[in-house]
Structure formats: C-alpha cells, structure tokens
Amino acid sequence: MLRLIMTRVFLGCVTLFAVTLLIFAATEILPGDVASAVLGQGATPETLAAFRIELGLDRPAYVRYLEWLTNALQGDLGIAMTNKREVLATITPRLYNTLFLAGYAAAIAVPIAIILGIIAAINEGKWIDRAANILTLGAISVPEFFIAYILILVFATNLGWFPSLSTVYGDMGFWQKIHVVALPALTLTMLVMAHMLRMTRASVLAIMSQPYIEMAFLKGLPRRRVILRHALPNAAAPIISVVALNLAYLIVGVVVIEVVFVYPGVGQYMVDGVSKRDLPVIQACALVFGGAFVLLNTIADILAILVNPRLRHPR
C-alpha cells in the first residue's frame, strides 16, 4: 500500500516537472517581443536593449528556466514587470478567492451530482433517468460564458437578486461574500454537476453488468439494495476520479467565469498578465493551475487505491 502511494506521489512530481517545462516553453514561443509590449512602440532601441538585459532575455533559455524553477521551488515566483510587485504577494489573496469560488461550487455540485446520478442509475430507462440525461447533455453542450450571461440577465438585470459583478475584498463578511459570488458559483455548479452526474450514472451501470451483480439479482434482492450495497462501493473509484477531475476543472476552468464576472481570482490575474505580456505573472498563474490539477489527480489515485482493494494488486 505504501509503495503504491509513494509511486503515485512520485509520478505526480514527475508530471508537475513536465508541466513546468511546458509552461516555460509556451511563454518562450509567444509571438512578439516582450520588451516592446511592455515599454510600448515609442521605446528607443537602446531602451529596449537595456530592458531585455534587465529581464534576463539576453541569456540562454535553459539558464532562465533553471533559475525560474529553482526560485519557484523556494517560493519565489518573481517580480511582475508591470508594477514591480512580488508575484507571490499578489497572487496569494487571488488564489484564496479562486479556492473560495471553487469550494462554493463544489459544496453544491458534488453531493447533488452523486445523489442524482445514483437515482438515475436506480431508475434506468424511466422518465427521471431520461430527464436527467436530457438536462445534463444540454448543460454540457452550452458554453460556460453563455450560461453566465443568461444568469446575469435573469437574476441580476431582471430580478435584481444578485449583483452582476462579483467584486470581493478582504474584510467582506462571509455571508455577504456568499451572496456576491452566487452567480459565478451557480454557473460552475451547472457545468460540473452535469458531467459528474452522467459519469456517476455510467460508473454505476457499468458495475451492474458484472457477474456478482447478476447473482445478487438471481437471489431475489431488490434493485435499490443491489446498487447501494454491492454496485456503489465498487463504483466508488471511478466516481472519485470523476469528482477529482471536476474539482480540478473548478480551479483551472474558472478563467472565463472570473473574466465574465470580474472576479478577483487567479484566472482574472492571468488574463491581465497575458494582455500586458507580463511573463512572471503568466508563468506563476499557469504553475498554480498545473499544480492544482496534478495534486487533485494524485489525491484521486490514492483515494481510489484506498477504496478499491483490487487496485492494490497487480493484474
């Protein structure tokens, strides 16, 4: 058990290292000149050359990558080019806001999706199962920004229940923040809940075709008991993986939602950095998103091993 867990952790670290390579390579191949984008078109060649030396762009790429990786491991994410502030000090409160939004949506979406997915599996082929399939397929097919604008039109403009801009600040009360962030949280909930519901239903129904499930039916056990007592525990591992992937999406996929609602999170910070060609900001935000995705998937693998004993032995 310990060896399997350590293997998953090691693979997670290797994946995160590969993510750092991709992040740095992606920022290196961005079109245009960073110094020109920061200083503007009116900068003289001498000023541009001096600024490139100040940024370290005159050094080889692998040297700058090793320096950036070493500093990141020590907690130093660099200095923003636009305002000369430490990226770590700026991104920390924004990361808290992003995690708050993701946790808000997850607290609503995860239990509802799992419960409704089990109900749909229990009532396979019935009207509740068909209705769930139609609604979830529709929610998955619609882009998140379109859902966000519809919610703003209905609940902010027409009804006036919630603000259209989710502006939060440090000394805002908890319930006030819950009210302000309701619309972006509801948008994320509708997206991830649909996917988790469908995958939960599919995982439970896949287990239902196993021989031991058929034997339970032959013994005369009711369908509800077979699903809850026999199918659901064995379907827990894929359900955990689906939940982890959607939680990762809640953190990584909030970029569009934060931009639509002007929410001060990491996604909004990254978009601002891209528009200003602020490479340290872009690299730091991408590293946070990549680290969150790898971490949640590693935790999902470990939980799947703990829940399903069959995963502990090689096949």
Please say if the pLDDT value at position 313 is more than 60: no
Q: Which residue would you say has higher pLDDT here, 174 or 34?
A: 174
Whether residue 220 lies inside any domain: the answer is yes
> Highest mean pLDDT range out of 21-30, 89-98, 129-138, 291-300?
89-98
Whether residue 28 lies inside any domain: the answer is no
Please say if the pLDDT value at position 125 is more than 80: no
Tokens representing residue 264 in the block = 């001060």
Phi, psi of 161, deg, nearest 5: -80, -35
Q: Which residue would you say has higher pLDDT here, 217 or 110?
A: 110
The string of pLDDT tens digits covering residues 184-216 is 888 888 888 887 888 778 777 777 777 777 777
Please say if the pLDDT value at position 2 is more than 80: no
Distance between CA atoms of 208 and 247, rounded to whole angstroms?
26
Whether residue 3 lies inside any domain: the answer is no
Please say if the pLDDT value at position 122 is more than 80: no
Selection from 28, 83, 34 nearest residue 55 by Cα: 34
Residue 36: predicted pLDDT: 66
Residue 43: predicted pLDDT: 67
Cβ atoms of 284 and 24 within 8 Å: the answer is: no
User: For the chain, percent helix, then strand, then coil, each to nearest 5?
Assistant: 75, 0, 25
Query: Structurally, how many domains does the chain consist of?
Result: 1
Whether residue 254 lies inside any domain: the answer is yes
Please say if the pLDDT value at position 31 is more than 70: no
- Work out the pLDDT band at 134, boundaries 50, 70, 90: confident
Tokens representing residue 40 in the block = 């503007």
Domain holding 234, by residue range, is 92-312
- Work out the pLDDT band at 168, boundaries 50, 70, 90: confident
> Highest mean pLDDT range out of 192-196, 247-251, 306-310?
192-196
Q: Supply the CATH number for residue 238's domain.
A: 1.10.3720.10
Whether residue 59 lies inside any domain: the answer is no
Whether residue 155 lies inside any domain: the answer is yes
Please say if the pLDDT value at position 314 is more than 60: no
Cβ atoms of 83 and 280 within 8 Å: the answer is: no
Instruction: Please give the angle made by the CA atoms of 232, 234 and 237, to the nearest 5 degrees.
Output: 100
Whether residue 50 lies inside any domain: the answer is no
Please say if the pLDDT value at position 315 is more than 70: no
Residue 157: predicted pLDDT: 84
Query: What does DSSP assign to residue 311?
Result: G
Whether residue 81 lies inside any domain: the answer is no
Please say if the pLDDT value at position 154 is more than 80: yes
